[in-house]
């Protein structure tokens, strides 16, 4: 079994167990909160955003006017679209655009000029909007991390003082930066005791950092009653890999991994599973990383497309985590002089959203 294969079978939580106290620094967090200058977006695909005209055209609570009958209603992402007039409406889940016509929706109000409106709440990308209720969202539209939603370090781990994350211009950024002692300590943002949920759909739109030693991730965890902490890893990447498997020769991530641990990583009798997915350069643009968690199944999506599912029952609520960690024994290796530091090499997050299943 190759080194990377044996590593994959061990996974995240086992490393924390194996490394023990060492991981208290490797998994550590801190409380510095800084804003950053926005890197150029010119080379990146457009990111999902709210309608820009919502203030001017809001059509009652929760619906934004889109267009009139016979025209095409266009928007970003997947939304529920309402078609009709005079309180008589037909509804349809659509992605990016939909013709505002009776041919598409049926005719809820014959003989009346109708319009299309889009729901004010986003839906899981490329999924049926009618099946989900939005329960959590952070679009990172402020200038600091929203402390009502996020903790700046994982529970039970001391905070470091590194200047290594910030919120500005619609993005959360987490970047590699040493703390005041010169150590690279993990920055793990969590919704522990602020938001947790059993089942649902969880989605992050982000682009990944590059370079040796970095271990960016988006995951779910229940640490309320250990041992046997169930875990769903939606995205883990290893841009520092030198074998060509997880990263290209410039240490840009070209693959990421999804996994789950029914009763906790490294626990006996835990049903586990994982799936690496080969991709384009994940540092070159924004992509949507998501999981649909049902009572007896987990299904993983990349840019709205299913790439892995497994039958597993996990019923304990989990909270959200987004981070860069620095693992000494994972394929990304160690930070060295080639690793780009600072805000220009960030895990850059446009949004994190969660929905409950209807
Ligand atoms: Ca945003």
Please give the distance, rounded to the nearest whole angstrom, from the Cα atom of residue 60 to the centre of ligand 1.
Answer: 24
Please give the distance, rounded to the nearest whole angstrom, from the Cα atom of residue 164 to the centre of ligand 1.
Answer: 19
Q: Number of helices and strands (H, E) in the chain?
A: 4, 21
Q: Which pLDDT does position 353 carry in this prediction?
A: 97
Percent of the chain residues past pLDDT 70, beyond the cut: 83
Mean pLDDT score, 206-210: 98
Report pLDDT digits (tens) over 20-72. Answer: 333 333 333 332 222 222 333 333 445 776 655 454 445 556 898 999 999 99
Q: Which pLDDT does position 123 carry in this prediction?
A: 95
Please give the distance, rounded to the nearest whole angstrom, from the Cα atom of residue 131 to the centre of ligand 1.
Answer: 24
DSSP letters, 179-214, are -TTS----EEEE-TTT-EESSEEEEEEEE---STT-
Please give the distance, rounded to the nearest whole angstrom, from the Cα atom of residue 53 to the centre of ligand 1.
Answer: 16
Please give the distance, rounded to the nearest whole angstrom, from the Cα atom of residue 43 to the centre of ligand 1.
Answer: 17
52-56, Cβ contacts within 8 angstroms, sequence gap of 24 or more: 54/120
Q: Which two tokens stand for residue 169?
A: 């211009």
Please give the distance, rounded to the nearest whole angstrom, from the Cα atom of residue 12 to the centre of ligand 1.
Answer: 28
Q: Reduced to 3 states, what is the DSSP secondary structure of residue 51?
A: coil
Mean pLDDT score, 98-105: 98
Please give the distance, rounded to the nearest whole angstrom, from the Cα atom of residue 41 to the centre of ligand 1.
Answer: 13
Residues with CB under 5 A from ligand 1 (ion): 139-140, 170, 350-351
Please give the distance, rounded to the nearest whole angstrom, from the Cα atom of residue 310 to the centre of ligand 1.
Answer: 31
Please give the distance, rounded to the nearest whole angstrom, from the Cα atom of residue 170 to the centre of ligand 1.
Answer: 4
Contact 291, 302 (CB under 8 A): no
Q: Which pLDDT does position 313 carry in this prediction?
A: 96
Report pLDDT digits (tens) over 211-253. Answer: 999 999 999 999 998 888 999 999 999 999 999 999 999 999 9
Q: Give the number of other CB atoms < 10 A from CB of residue 334.
A: 13
Mean pLDDT over each residue of the chain, to the nearest integer: 86
Which of the residue ranges 11-25, 139-153, 229-243, 303-317 would you say has the lowest mean pLDDT?
Answer: 11-25
Check whether 196 has a pLDDT greater than 80: yes
> What pLDDT band is residue 289 in, cutting at 50, 70 and 90?
very high
Please give the distance, rounded to the nearest whole angstrom, from the Cα atom of residue 143 to the centre of ligand 1.
Answer: 11
Please give the distance, rounded to the nearest whole angstrom, from the Cα atom of residue 3 to the centre of ligand 1.
Answer: 37
Q: Where are the alpha helices (DSSP H) in the chain?
A: 3-19, 22-26, 54-57, 102-105
Mean pLDDT score, 139-145: 96
The closest of 77, 70, 30, 25 to 355, measured between CA atoms, is 77
Report pLDDT digits (tens) over 158-167. Answer: 888 999 999 9
How much is the pTM?
Answer: 0.86
Mean pLDDT score, 88-112: 97
Contacts of 302 (CB under 8 A, 6+ apart): 277, 279, 287, 288, 289, 290
Domain boundaries, the chain: 3-46+134-357, 54-121
Percent of the chain residues past pLDDT 90, beyond the cut: 76
Please give the distance, rounded to the nearest whole angstrom, from the Cα atom of residue 172 to the centre of ligand 1.
Answer: 8
**CA angle, residues 139, 143, 144, in degrees to nearest 5:** 90
> What does residue 354 show for φ and ψ, rounded to 5 degrees?
-140, 150
Mean pLDDT score, 248-265: 96
Q: Which pLDDT does position 11 carry in this prediction?
A: 39
Q: Which pLDDT does position 12 carry in this prediction?
A: 47
Most confident range, picked from 11-15, 61-65, 117-121, 335-339: 335-339
Please give the distance, rounded to the nearest whole angstrom, from the Cα atom of residue 344 to the centre of ligand 1.
Answer: 17
Asked if the 3-46+134-357 domain carries CATH number 3.40.640.10, the reply is: no
């Amino acid at each position: 079994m190759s080194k990377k294969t044996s590593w994959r079978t061990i996974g995240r939580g086992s490393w924390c167990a194996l490394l023990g106290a060492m991981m208290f620094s490797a998994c550590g967090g801190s409380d510095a909160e800084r804003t950053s200058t926005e890197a150029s977006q010119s080379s990146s695909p457009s990111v999902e955003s709210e309608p820009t005209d919502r203030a001017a055209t809001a059509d009652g609570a929760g619906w934004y006017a889109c267009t009139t009958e016979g025209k095409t209603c266009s928007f970003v992402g997947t939304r529920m679209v309402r078609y009709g007039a005079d309180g008589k409406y037909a509804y349809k889940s659509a992605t990016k655009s939909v013709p505002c016509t009776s041919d598409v929706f049926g005719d809820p109000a014959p003989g009346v000029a109708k319009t299309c409106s889009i729901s004010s709440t986003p839906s899981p990308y490329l999924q049926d909007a009618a099946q989900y209720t939005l329960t959590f969202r952070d679009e990172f539209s402020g200038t600091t991390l929203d402390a009502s939603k996020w903790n700046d370090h994982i529970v039970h781990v001391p905070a470091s003082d590194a200047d290594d994350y910030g919120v500005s211009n619609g993005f959360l950024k987490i970047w590699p930066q040493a703390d005041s002692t010169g150590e690279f300590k993990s920055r793990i943002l969590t919704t522990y005791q602020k938001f947790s949920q059993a089942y649902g759909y969880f989605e992050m739109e982000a682009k990944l950092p590059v370079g040796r030693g970095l271990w960016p991730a988006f995951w779910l965890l229940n640490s309320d009653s250990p041992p046997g902490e169930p875990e769903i890893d939606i995205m883990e990447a290893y841009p520092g890999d030198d074998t060509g498997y997880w990263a290209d020769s410039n240490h840009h991530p070209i693959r990421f991994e999804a996994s789950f641990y029914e009763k906790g990583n490294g626990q006996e009798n835990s049903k586990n599973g994982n799936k690496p997915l080969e991709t384009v350069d994940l540092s070159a643009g924004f992509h949507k990383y998501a999981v649909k968690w049902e009572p007896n199944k987990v299904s993983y999506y990349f840019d709205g497309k299913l790439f892995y599912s497994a039958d597993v029952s996990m019923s304990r609520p989990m909270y959200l985590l987004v981070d860069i960690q620095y693992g000494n024994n994972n394929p990304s290796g160690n930070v060295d002089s080639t690793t780009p530091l600072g805000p220009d090499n960030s895990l850059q997050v446009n949004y994190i959203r969660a929905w409950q299943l209807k």
